[in-house]
Amino acid sequence: MQDIILEARHIHKRFYDPVTVQVLTDITFTVNKGEFVSVIGKSGCGKSTLLYILSTMDTDYEGELLIDKVSMSGKSDAALARIRNEKIGFVFQFHYLLNEFTVLRNVMLPGIKLNKHSEQEVEHRALERLKMLGIEHLANKLAYRVSGGEKQRVAIARALINDPHIIMGDEPTGNLDVKNSEMVFDIFKQLAEEHNQTLLIVTHDPSFAENSGRIIEMEDGKIIRH
């Protein structure tokens, strides 16, 4: 039996700007544990809007979102924040590292925020993840002193700190050159194949999408392939 991590049921989203604009229409799909899914579609088709809803950051929509088979409907902001921190790792186009902190501290922060392990344990976990991504030697460097490709690896290590059930990415290779884009892709592929990590990544990069495990294609706010 497939283990469903994420389920969108008939999600509709409208903006009022100032007239009503229907941005998402009847979005329904599931993502199973260990799947590496790319979300593609032309600019403005609603990818980021959908990711915002799936990551529980936007609660103003019709339909239902389930994470680990639990409905997110009616949950308080505090409960959603906890679920996000515990279950979802984020990797964005821009890494949003805190420049004045070390690489190690940046990776530790979501772990400290979750308050589930002691600071010493979080540090151990952070070092493990830096090692896994081949950047353990950068641990004590200030974040602004590492290269763009390294920063994105640090952001991935940070996304992994709480053992997320799913990693969501919005154009995580959008700001990288070809070599670093391939490196980030290879890390995601390895996470899915060797660690059964689930990934849902919005991308404009056709080769990234084609080589991931599955493509969800959107057009004008609808899913046309999944």
Which residues contact ligand ATP by CB under 6 A? 15, 17, 21, 23, 41, 43-49
Instruction: Output phi, psi for 182, to 5 deg.
Output: -65, -40
Spatial CB neighbours of 144, under 8 Å, sequence gap ≥ 6: 97, 99, 100
In this complex, which beta carbon is closest to ligand ATP, that of residue 47 or of residue 125?
A: 47
Q: In the bound complex, what is the minimum distance in angstroms from residue 17's beta carbon to ligand ATP?
A: 4
Half-sphere exposure of 82 (CA within 13 A, CB side): 8
Instruction: Output phi, psi for 115, to 5 deg.
Output: 60, 40
Q: In the bound complex, what is the minimum distance in angstroms from residue 220's beta carbon to ligand ATP?
A: 9
Contact 91, 155 (CB under 8 A): yes
Q: Three-class SS of residue 217?
A: strand
Q: In the bound complex, what is the minimum distance in angstroms from residue 49's beta carbon to ligand ATP?
A: 3
In this complex, which beta carbon is closest to ligand ATP, that of residue 90 or of residue 191?
A: 90
Kindly report the CA angle at 36 between 133 and 125, in degrees rounded to 5?
30
Residue reference for tokens 């941005």: 23
In this complex, which beta carbon is closest to ligand ATP, that of residue 21 or of residue 224?
A: 21
In this complex, which beta carbon is closest to ligand ATP, that of residue 23 or of residue 97?
A: 23
Q: In the bound complex, what is the minimum distance in angstroms from residue 150's beta carbon to ligand ATP?
A: 25
Q: In the bound complex, what is the minimum distance in angstroms from residue 45's beta carbon to ligand ATP?
A: 4
Closest residue by Cα to residue 209 from 188, 193, 195, 191:
188
In this complex, which beta carbon is closest to ligand ATP, that of residue 181 or of residue 197?
A: 181
